[in-house]
Amino acid sequence: MKKKPDIIFLMTDQQRWDCIGRFNSQIITPTLDKLAEQGITYTQAVCQAPMCVPSRTSMMFGYYPSQLGVRTNYGGLFDEDKLPGDPLPELLRKAGYQTAGFGKTHWNHGLKDSNPSTRGFEVRAVGLAKDSGHYEQGAVMMGDDDPEGLRAYYEETKDYGGGEENSNGYIGCTSQISMEKHRDGWVAEKCLDFIENGLDPERPLFLYLSFLKPHAGFNVPKQFEDLYNLDDIPDILQPPWEAEADTHLEASDEVSSTSREQYWEKRRVWEGMTRDERKRTTLRYWANCTWLDHYFGRALEKLEQQGRLDNALIVFVSDHGEMLGERNFRFSKYCLYESSVRVPMILSGSYIPAEQRGNLDDRPAELIDLIPTLAPVAGFEADPRLPGLDLLGERKRVGSFCEFHGKGAPVEHSAPALMWRTKEWKLILYLPGSIADSVTRVGEYSGELYHLKEDPNELNNVYREERFAAVRERMTAELLMHLACSWARGPFFNDKRGYSALGG
């Protein structure tokens, strides 16, 4: 029987879909370029929620955020006895893999349990302090292993605000601390040491290496910032209007004063900048991408030296994108526009058939597809209730789905905004106001429709234009039926015939 392939899972936080050198010649990412050349790039991939916690939870469990009840960064699956199923690391551990996790998962379950499960990881290292809410049982924490390094990092970023996302965080700096003292640098070094000294020769490997950047703050190691020339960086594209009108983003700002204030705090700063000062932010974001690519390259090189790439599937994804100053100086994510919801996704390595290497697959792809894709690779059965598809198989969906419920900072969440996207069109349906009384106001729903083929920057909302009525109605029906079919499969399906009633 053929030996199970090693599975190498590489992940970044908040990396735009277009920040890979093979598809944007201004970005320096030689490692990801090589993965794309030797694998399949899913050019239309999207996340299921444009923020860390619901996106990652959805990916790791294979359900949509609303199926899990984790819709914002304030959420999480906190109780181990109430999980909807096994998360990806546990599925692979049960399939006989040595499971090693380095870096960010953002389960959030440490907020209610001081000693939470690793959820399947046998080896664990996290680049934060033990009291950060992200400790997991037995994990090596940077705060314990290198407290001076973590203090130095926090001293350099002390004015960057929560999540390092205020204006100072996005302006950033040329870092004055060595890259090994950065949280991602510490995580990468722990991963490299494990590859050198900790591999189990008797079992296939599931290695998860997940960084905190290129998410702000933009305190970038000098050697990577110096790779870029400010004169080559484009200015930030802006729309022909002064304020959002009749969009889900405007509706979200109306519900959340916190979101509104954070937006205007940055906008006032960026409107007062020179062109070169604005371009510096983009440069540092790109340099962050290059820095992480460097560490991915080092990890893959060491794995190759250990013979662990001879039979391997390599996955690269990010959890969501980054607006990076678009739409009148919007930063971070928290919306359903392309720069926020689209993600880079590559399946590469020797496991990919030679005739498929270098392919661009433009099927609608989602992060929830990763469990159904890895199941036949690792030899376990994917739960038939999961709504995802095997990306290495032939089946494909009509469009892709993402949902947004506001930032989660206010007591009440926003009423839902739902996206249905094809390569050519994007539909967004939303209900203004909070979720509190939404069932009494469903007739107030509104929408956005963008012809992505002709309007890739989503500047012209044609939702109410009669000439596009057929497109609008068809996509609305597809969205509703997609959700109805997905929710009907699980997570709590009961029938006399059990799972067999779901079909093959």
Written in H, E and C, the secondary structure of 399-450 is CEEEEECCCCCCCCCECCEEEEECCCEEEEEECCCECCCHHHCHHHCEEEEE
Asked whether residue 503 carries a pLDDT value surpassing 80, the answer given is: no
**What is the signed CA dihedral for 113, 119, 122, 123, rounded to 10 degrees?**
-70
Is 262 strand, coil or helix? helix
Tens digits of residue pLDDT in 73-93: 999 999 999 999 999 999 999
Q: What is the pLDDT of residue 12?
A: 98
Q: What is the pLDDT averaged over residues 463-471?
A: 98
Return d(Cα 405, Cα 430) in angstroms, integer.
10
Q: What is the pLDDT of residue 204?
A: 97
410 pLDDT band, cuts 50/70/90, is low
Place of tokens 């030679």: 354
Q: What is the pLDDT averaged over residues 482-493?
A: 87
Per-domain residue ranges of the chain: 6-389
Q: What is the pLDDT of residue 183?
A: 98
Asked whether residue 26 carries a pLDDT value surpassing 50, the answer given is: yes
Q: What is the pLDDT of residue 43?
A: 98
Q: Determine contact, residues 221/173, Cβ cutoff 8 Å.
A: no
Residue type, 202: E
Q: What is the pLDDT of residue 14?
A: 98
Asked whether residue 1 carries a pLDDT value surpassing 50, the answer given is: no
Tens digits of residue pLDDT in 185-219: 999 999 999 999 999 999 999 999 999 999 999 99
Asked whether residue 328 carries a pLDDT value surpassing 90, the answer given is: yes
Chain centroid to Cα 61, Å, comes to: 14
**Structure token pair of residue 290:** 């290059």
Strands 417-421 and 400-404: antiparallel
Q: What is the pLDDT of residue 2?
A: 58
**Structure token pair of residue 47:** 């996340």
Return d(Cα 432, Cα 188) in angstroms, integer.
43
Asked whether residue 334 carries a pLDDT value surpassing 50, the answer given is: yes
409 pLDDT band, cuts 50/70/90, is low
Q: Determine contact, residues 121/210, Cβ cutoff 8 Å.
A: no
Q: What is the pLDDT of residue 259?
A: 86
Per the model's pLDDT, the better-predicted residue between 274 and 410 turns out to be 274
Q: What is the pLDDT averaged over residues 297-320?
A: 98
360 pLDDT band, cuts 50/70/90, is very high
Q: Which residues contact 481 (CB under 8 A, 6 or more apart)?
A: none
Q: Which fold has domain 6-389?
A: Alkaline Phosphatase, subunit A (3.40.720)
Return d(Cα 464, Cα 475) in angstroms, integer.
14
Q: Residue 288 is inside which H or E element, if any?
A: helix 275-305
Which phi-psi region, left, alpha or beta, contains residue 49 (left: φ > 0; alpha: ψ -120 to 50)? Answer: beta
Bridge-partner residues for 402, per DSSP?
419
Across the beta sheet with 446-451, the strand order is 400-404, 417-421, 425-430, 446-451
Torsion sign, CA atoms 327, 73, 220, 9: negative
Tens digits of residue pLDDT in 148-176: 999 999 999 999 999 999 999 999 999 99
High-pLDDT (> 90) share of the chain, %: 91
Q: What is the pLDDT of residue 497?
A: 80
Asked whether residue 504 carries a pLDDT value surpassing 70, the answer given is: no
456 pLDDT band, cuts 50/70/90, is very high
Roughly what angle, to the nearest 10 degrees, separates helices 275-305 and 30-37? 60
Q: What is the pLDDT averaged over residues 472-478?
A: 98
413 pLDDT band, cuts 50/70/90, is confident
Give the Å distances, CA to CA, from 403 to 156, 341, 453, 481. Answer: 35, 9, 22, 15
Strands 345-348 and 40-42: antiparallel
Asked whether residue 341 carries a pLDDT value surpassing 60, the answer given is: yes
| pTM of this prediction exceeds 0.95 | yes
Mean pLDDT of the chain: 95
Return d(Cα 504, Cα 495) in angstroms, integer.
15
Q: Residue 45 is inside which H or E element, if any?
A: strand 45-46
